Amino acid sequence: MVSGPVSGGTLEDFIRERRRGKDILLMTHIVLGYPSFEASVAMVDAMVASGVDLIELQIPFSEPIADGPVILHANQKALAAGSRVARCFEVARELCARHAIPMLFMSYTNIAYRYGFDAFARDAAAAGLRGAILPDLPYEEGAELLAAMDAHALDPVFIYSPNTSDARMRAIAKRARGFVYCVARKGVTGADTDFGSLDGYLARCHAATPLPLALGFGVSDAADVAGLVGKVDIAVVGSQTIRVIDEQGVDAVGAFVGGLR
């Protein structure tokens, strides 16, 4: 279904309201321009029609250090095909206008730096994005970008990992808004994850922040999503969607996402 932009209220408000009707929310991920911008739009349309709650729109970057080989390959192919930041903003604006769920940019700090921190936050917010995930942005060094995001009501989504200390989790929580993204293990995206061993880690995450929690890195099927019910608010599926595109084509994305719960 194609519908208008998401209504007012904060990203956190949206998540909490949406959670009243669902055991767990689903956030999916695309690389803008992979395999083409037309395909990116079609995939988001299919994801929304299949019931996803939030979507990460990744601006391709040449050195995506948090991403494993699957998403790295998609970044490289998108850049080789001509994906550029200005076009990503244009398509993001179109997608935000078409769909009544929050969209977030995901990329790396160099993209925002080269664009200009204030301009990046201003233009992302003007396009309708609700937040940005920049996994290589240390909260201690991001004052200029964070101030720009605050000025333009763009939520900074920060990351916890299993080796983040309790003290650092609490410090990060003071800067985070919208939700906190908990990575399921050390390393990069796309590898298998033992979801049965997360209880202690997630208890630490909940103790550190009152914000909703998302969990990603290795979530690939309905069993993984079901196993996270009652533990986090949002399950994040990224690399597996790219695998579906590579193996079955863009037209298979809707059925894959629809089968995740």
Rounded CA separation 162/147 (Å) = 28
Cα 193 to the chain's mean position, in Å? 18
Exactly one of 53, 56, 123, 224 is catalytic; name it.
56
Sign of CA dihedral 203, 204, 205, 210: positive
Rounded CA separation 216/202 (Å) = 12
Residue 118 catalytic? no
Asked whether 26 and 237 are in contact (CB, 8 A), the reply is yes
Burial 74-89 (b: 16+ CB within 10 A, else e): bbbbbbeeebebeebb
Residue 56 catalytic? yes
Exactly one of 12, 23, 53, 67 is catalytic; name it.
67
Rounded CA separation 129/92 (Å) = 8
Give the DSSP letter of residue 252: G
Sheet holding 155-157, edge to edge: 155-157, 131-133, 103-106, 54-58, 25-31, 234-237, 213-216, 180-183, 159-160
Asked whether 181 and 157 are in contact (CB, 8 A), the reply is yes
For the annotated catalytic residues, the residue numbers are 56, 67
